[in-house]
Amino acid sequence: MPFRMGPIELFVILAIVLVLFGVGRIGRIGGELGKGIRAFRLGIKDEEKDNGLDGDSTQASANSENSEL
């Protein structure tokens, strides 16, 4: 039988998490998670730029290859 969570179950889980961690700590955890995601995205963009994989240069090289044929 599949496990389904309704709004009441989600509310109970949220209440338990609030009691265990507190509002301030959850806010800090959310902020750190956001900073981590932002850093990850910037790292991916920087790596693509270093490898020359950004969309404009890839499209330009594909066009130049097609014109040589």
Q: Which residues, other chains included, contact 54 with Cβ-Cβ below 8 Å and sequence gap of 6+? A: 48
- Determine what percent of the chain is predicted with pLDDT higher than 70: 72
**6-38 pLDDT per residue, tens:** 999 999 999 998 899 888 898 898 899 999 999
Residue 54 has pLDDT above 60, yes or no: no
Could you tell me the two tokens for 22? 């507190």
Would the pTM of this model clear 0.75, i.e. be above it? no
| Tally: H helices and E strands in the chain | 3, 0
